[in-house]
Amino acid sequence: MNARDGPLLNDTPSQTARLTVGAVDSTDDTDTLALSALDVDSLEDYDALWWHRESALDADARAALDAAGDAIRSFVADGGGLLLTHGAVEAASHVGIETHAPDAIGSVDGDESGFLVRRAYEDHPIFDGIGTLRPDSAATGDAVSVHYETLYPKDADVLAARTTDGEDDPAKKSVLRWSHGDGRVVGVGHGLDDRETDLQERLLDNCLAYVAGAGEDPATVGRPKERAAFEALREAVPDATNRPAYHFTPPANWLNDPNGLVQWNGTYHLFYQYNPAGPFHDTIHWGHATSEDLVHWEDEPIALAPDPGGPDETGVWSGCFVDDDGTPSVLYTGGAGRDQLPCLARATDDSLVEWEKSPANPLVEETPAGVDVLDSIDWRGEFRDHCVWKEGETWYQLIGSGIDGEGGAALLFESTDLVEWEYCRPLLTGDWRKTGPMWECPELLRFDDGALLHVSDYAKVAYFVGEYDEATHAFDPSDDGLLDHGVFYAPQSFEDDDGRTIMFGWLKEERDAEAQWDAGWSGAMSLPRVVSLTDEGTPEYSLPEELEALRETHHSFSDLTVSPDGPNPLADIESDTVEVKLTVDADNVGEFGLVLRETPDGEERTVVRCLAQYRSLVVDRSESSVSDAVDDSPARMPINLDDDGTFSLHLFLDRSVVELFANDAQALATRIYPTRADSTGLGLYAAEADVTVERLDVWELSR
């Protein structure tokens, strides 16, 4: 069925007037009104207005809008509809319906341009009868294209973006929906110039009917979003096979780095990098969630958003929480143009929902003099992400950077008031050949047995352990390694009311961008990890006891012998959300391991191979999924044995997330993406000879 074969959204005729600049020249049976002649009385007979321009707004159009703006706003506020197409999309900001003007106005690159519908809005009335996230492209004409690219609209919902020559172009946010008073406004920035296809005609008909009042908005629309709207977003993008059940994920759209972690007045707060425009990295805001137990999280309104014309107009990037004598504050990186600089915001309520940005932003106006900070194609200086602490009356902070020709660097600054900062020196500089040219998200953690500095170098999270001298503010590393051997990235930590140092990290996706768009969400937080140093000064992990609340059905085994040709002792367990703990005497033990998310016919399965004799663990993903959109390469980490020669493994499976901890000292987080609903089988195997498992516990976890 093509788009025009089905019933239209609204078969009840509505009275629509087309708007024009200058002389009235109606070419069809739609009424045409000159903008210069509009007043409230002239619009009272109409349900909707439609303005299409095949060029950008010029001086004449802007002058006409200035004269007609009050009438248009009143018409919409009283329940009228307004459709703006192509160059006319600019009018929304010009007449005060949208705060942020679109930042990309020009021709369409490529021979064809189509629509890229967001999963969360595929049921919106304007897409009625279209039935796909990627409606067919049409040949591009000479009409102008208007969209938001590096900026994000402040008042609109972004319903769709663009495809160009068959490729997804999600950053070009071009189909917009506003509420203004009792009325509806839609902007379509491209793809309706010639209206040569059934799809184009269908979309136009739907848009006109919708702004005239036909159809009901889904619960996913509306800004700012409160809890109910975020819950509607979650329901709109369930992805039941792969969306984690107990790891935190965004309501929809994109998530990356954890930010501003804190327990404040007994409540845990997780802020995070969030793109409300879709499941891709762009136009970053701060998302916000709260929990009373580190396990169950509730969505809060977006905490921080970019301000056009401000030092964070293209992104509110990663930062940390600071308790400034009882005033909750955050330092974050603001992006504008090719600059990224430190900014400050303070909460105006104890629930940490409302925030006020400092008028002093940016706090540091340029990268330090005398330091050859690495430049890149994107940034005038790679200079971002913050770790702040107080010693006596002085604040110190680390900012991630890179020194050209040397390597990543954690740059040390000091301040007496959190506003005026003075550069000190690099706390540590790496070797670009080992730990990359740029360090993101530096964090210094201090324990009784030493200090741990970790940095993220685009590929991995490297750590350095040693001594930090408060008198000289110097860090002397004595050892280094990796905090995690998988997709765990950009971690941040905080000390809770029980004195635990709790760390969260971003678990990256390992499926392609198109698959993430189709799913409607991207990114997960790791489980909270309690981090400490051993007596020998090496990192170790434990999991908060609060996670035990997830445990439901328990299966327990002692002195279990697993044979290569023997039965699978876990054959009766079927689940895609489990916790597993096992202990093995590793002396002279051959390969053994666990099978996760296996289908009954074995078409899909993931194998965790424990190669104790080689001190290695491998997550074999070669058969994890039949999809060709996912990474099926093996994930590996070295393992150490306890002093008594035993090997212990603690595993959490949460649909697409696998987190592994070996002997509480090595960690590996990875992702798997089965496609089948019956990929729920669990197994335990031995490959070469009998293996005796001293202790095995399996818990099926709540969803």
Residue pLDDT, tens place only, 316-361? 999 999 999 999 999 999 999 999 999 999 999 999 999 999 999 9
**Structure token pair of residue 685:** 């195997």
Mean pLDDT, the chain, rounded, equals 94
Mean pLDDT of 366-377: 94
pLDDT digits (tens, 9 = 90+) for 172-223: 999 999 999 999 999 999 998 776 788 889 999 999 999 999 999 999 999 8
pLDDT for position 23: 56
Q: How many other C-beta atoms can be found within 10 angstroms of the C-beta atom of residue 214? A: 21
Considering the chain, what percentage of its residues have pLDDT values greater than 90?
Answer: 85
Task: Find the helix or strand (DSSP H, E) in which 229 lies.
Answer: helix 227-236
Contact 300, 308 (CB under 8 A): no
Going by C-alpha positions, the residue among 383, 438, 170, 382 that lies closest to residue 282 is 170
pLDDT for position 2: 32
pLDDT for position 536: 86
Does pLDDT of 473 surpass 60? yes
Count of CA atoms in the C-beta half-sphere (13 A) of 321: 27
**Structure token pair of residue 60:** 């004449």
**Structure token pair of residue 31:** 């009424």
**Structure token pair of residue 384:** 């971002």
Please write down the HEC assignment for all residues of 582-616.
EEEECCCCCCEEEEEEECCCCCCCEEEEEEHHHCE
Q: Sign of dihedral through CA atoms 371, 374, 377, 378?
A: negative
- Binning pLDDT at 50, 70 and 90, where does residue 413 land? very high
pLDDT for position 28: 55
Q: How many other C-beta atoms can be found within 10 angstroms of the C-beta atom of residue 268? A: 22
- Binning pLDDT at 50, 70 and 90, where does residue 29 land? low
Catalytic site includes residue 257: yes
Task: Name the amino acid, one letter, at 50.
Answer: W
Q: DSSP readout, 502-537?
A: EEEEEE---B-HHHHHHHTEE-EEPPPEEEEE-TTS
pLDDT for position 7: 41
Full-model pTM: 0.95
Identified catalytic residue from 47, 155, 205, 257? 257
Contact 143, 170 (CB under 8 A): no
Does pLDDT of 404 surpass 90? yes
- Binning pLDDT at 50, 70 and 90, where does residue 5 land? very low
Going by C-alpha positions, the residue among 333, 345, 485, 447 that lies closest to residue 400 is 333
Going by C-alpha positions, the residue among 178, 147, 109 that lies closest to residue 283 is 147
Task: Find the helix or strand (DSSP H, E) in which 201 lies.
Answer: helix 198-211
Is 667 exposed, middle or buried (CB count within 10 Å of its CB: 0-12, 13-18, 19+)?
A: buried
Contacts with 172 (C-beta within 8 Å, 6 or more apart), sequence order: 104, 145, 147, 148, 149, 161, 162, 164
pLDDT digits (tens, 9 = 90+) for 137-172: 777 777 899 999 999 999 999 999 999 989 999 999
- Binning pLDDT at 50, 70 and 90, where does residue 4 land? very low
Query: Distance between CA atoms of 364 and 54, rounded to whole angstroms?
Result: 43
pLDDT digits (tens, 9 = 90+) for 627-669: 999 999 999 999 988 888 899 999 999 999 999 999 999 999 9
Does pLDDT of 432 surpass 90? yes
Mean pLDDT of 523-542: 95
pLDDT for position 141: 72
Q: How many other C-beta atoms can be found within 10 angstroms of the C-beta atom of residue 575? A: 18
Task: Find the helix or strand (DSSP H, E) in which 199 lies.
Answer: helix 198-211
